[in-house]
Amino acid sequence: MTSTQAPAPTAADITATRGQDSGGRNLFDDFAPLGNPLRDGLTDKRTPDPCVMVIFGVTGDLTARKLMPALWDLAVGHPLPEGFSIVGVSRRSWTDEEFREEMRAAVVRGARTPVTDEAWKQFSEGLFYVAGDFAAAQTYTDLASRLEAIDTERRTQGNRLFYLATSPTYFPDIIENLGTSGIAERREIYSDPRERWNRVVVEKPFGHDVESARQLIQEMATVFSEQQIYRIDHYLGKETVQNVMAFRFANILFEPVFNRSYVEHIQITAAEAIGVEGRGGYYEDSGALRDMVQSHLLQLLTVVAMEPPAVFRGDEVRDEKVKVLRSVVPPIGPQVDSRAIRGQYGAGYMGGKPVEGYLTERGVRPESQTETFVALKLEIDNWRWANVPFYLRTGKRLPRRVTEIAITFKKVPHLMFRNAVDTAPDSNVITMRIQPDEGIAIRFAAKVPGPTNKLRNVPMDFYYGSTFGETSPDAYERLILDAMLGDPTLFQRRDEVETAWGIVQPVLDGWANGLSPTRQYDSGTWGPAEADAMVREDGFHWRRP
Ligand SMILES: NC(=O)c1ccc[n+]([C@@H]2O[C@H](COP(=O)([O-])OP(=O)(O)OC[C@H]3O[C@@H](n4cnc5c(N)ncnc54)[C@H](OP(=O)(O)O)[C@@H]3O)[C@@H](O)[C@H]2O)c1
């Protein structure tokens, strides 16, 4: 009898049909050497297509301190595409030549790689400047003709990376004008790679609260699709933050104990030793909760608390980050009083020198309640982290600059050495140092040499610098390159931004209603006493990093 059954598919058949769309295009074959050419983003190649980067606000602080040095280091260290060009837009009436001179000075000040005349000449041939107001249509007419000329002369193929290095108040003007002038073209996710691309990078803050964030998201969506928008939080570009994911998900040793069965609590600290440094006017509208917690600290929380993504790639990583943010329980109503402590630095001493308090800084209102310090207790209502408190703390004029994540483990259930030690050893702690002294330390108990069973806590320390022997690239280098490549993994998706605002909004509301009033702390101390009381009530204490 002849069988009518189809032969079982071979592994090759399965591979050949998996992930194909109705037209037979393979949508998920991202591991091919050049990545999947049909999907915007998600490629492994590390040389972007020829393109022009347009920086709005190019005369500003961010461009001089971060963007231009990063672009120079990229140009020297990695092959930027042939013909790569930068067009700067701001009001100042610079010529191309003046622009090039200013940028050279910025690069000399801020870049990792020294500048040589010959290399600079080659790089600066791709620098152009367009003077104009962001709100004026003429600016975009001038920009469009500049871009066309560059495409012809330098073969940049119509590919554009727009970078909004301006105050967010200008975003709507710029976005709208990019749309109406026809410079920006909307593209959806499965664009043909042979078509030209354009993407827009947006600097934080993405809004001032939930409502304004949603509004900004909608305004941008009128011109760009979500796949074209790259919302930058430069913390995610830091090697040490990416290493948190490597530490957790590339080692079998640690991940099995990263959960409520073993972890007692987690502290995330971002301490600065400096004050507002003359930027009181900007800071008055922001404060530590918006400036640091809504963005950087919640990003750190996501990488330490998220579930393992199936693959390190755009939506797979961002899906997991959003999932954990959605599980975060912020302080609600009266809880704000005891779980969202705010402080403001007063006068004090830094490095033995007297310093003034926040209220006497330039641009600060004399009766200001703006917080320069926040200590927050959050819970994560999911299977992995139920009942494990997450304490977040950030502030200015604290004793030292340090950003770290510290995971404190539960004590052993039974200490057989108890009769032989003076004091029981502390819990194991894994500390991930984001900056400075980038690295990871593990604290554990060891037997002190000698005839007794005395124990002592000892550290096992990994230092990035000494292990890899070279300075890490700046976060902006990685992020700019990723945006040029169309890789969105380290950028924030709209739902991530909205969910993060949803976590801080109840705190903003509680504070607006007078809960947890702003407490003064002396410059050079670790914040107000109420922040210590918050963790002490749970039986813990803040680390003194
Ligand atoms: N600075 C940082 O380290 C840093 C870090 C993280 C995020 N950010 C974010 O990055 C963005 C930019 O910050 P920034 O410190 O660079 O700002 P900035 O120093 O104020 O620079 C903005 C530039 O925009 C130009 N500009 C202002 N109004 C304009 C208008 N109507 N038309 C045309 N040009 C105009 C100004 O140039 P002209 O005077 O020449 O017109 C100014 O140099 C902000 O969203 C900020 O929050 C900054």
Output the residue whose Cα is nearest ligand 1's atom 23: 57
Output the residue whose Cα is nearest ligand 1's atom 15: 61
Determine what percent of the chain falls in helix, strand and coil, rounding each to the nearest 5.
35, 20, 45
pTM: 0.88
For ligand 1, whether the C-beta of 167 sits within 6 Å is yes
Span 240-264, pLDDT tens digits: 999 999 999 999 999 999 999 999 9
Joined tokens for residue 297: 């600290």
Output the residue whose Cα is nearest ligand 1's atom 35: 90
The DSSP call for residue 52 is E
Fold agreement (39-232, 237-405+493-536): no
Residue 419's alpha-carbon distances to 134, 316, 423, 467, in angstroms, are 73, 50, 9, 40
Least confident of 51-60, 480-489, 498-507: 480-489
DSSP string for 89-111: EESS---HHHHHHHHHHHHHHH-
**Mean pLDDT in the chain?**
89
Q: Which residues are catalytic?
A: 296
For ligand 1, whether the C-beta of 59 sits within 6 Å is yes
Domain boundaries, the chain: 39-232, 237-405+493-536
363 contact partners, CB below 8 Å, separation of at least 6: 278, 279, 280, 281, 282, 283, 284
User: CA nearest 101: which of 136, 59, 149, 132?
Assistant: 59
Output the residue whose Cα is nearest ligand 1's atom 21: 60
Span 204-234, pLDDT tens digits: 889 999 999 999 999 999 999 999 999 999 9
Element (H, E) at 512: helix 494-512
| Domain 39-232 CATH superfamily | NAD(P)-binding Rossmann-like Domain (3.40.50.720)
For residues 528 and 344, give the distance between their C-alpha atoms in angstroms, rounded to a whole number.
8
Q: Find the largest Cα–Cα distance for the chain.
A: 98
For ligand 1, whether the C-beta of 168 sits within 6 Å is yes
Span 86-134, pLDDT tens digits: 999 999 999 999 999 999 999 999 999 999 999 999 999 999 999 999 9
Determine the atom of ligand 1 nearest the C-alpha atom of 133. 32
Joined tokens for residue 526: 């670790």
For ligand 1, whether the C-beta of 64 sits within 6 Å is no
Span 152-162, pLDDT tens digits: 999 999 999 99
Omega of the bond leading into 205 within 30 degrees of 0 (cis): yes
For ligand 1, whether the C-beta of 537 sits within 6 Å is no
Determine the atom of ligand 1 nearest the C-alpha atom of 136. 32
Joined tokens for residue 242: 């990416």
Mutation to probe ligand 1, out of 54, 90, 236, 480 (largest number of atoms < 8 A from CB):
90
Residue 88's alpha-carbon distances to 63, 134, 177, in angstroms, are 10, 12, 16
For residues 33 and 43, give the distance between their C-alpha atoms in angstroms, rounded to a whole number.
8
| Domain 237-405+493-536 CATH superfamily | Dihydrodipicolinate Reductase; domain 2 (3.30.360.10)
Q: Is the pLDDT of residue 425 over 80?
A: no
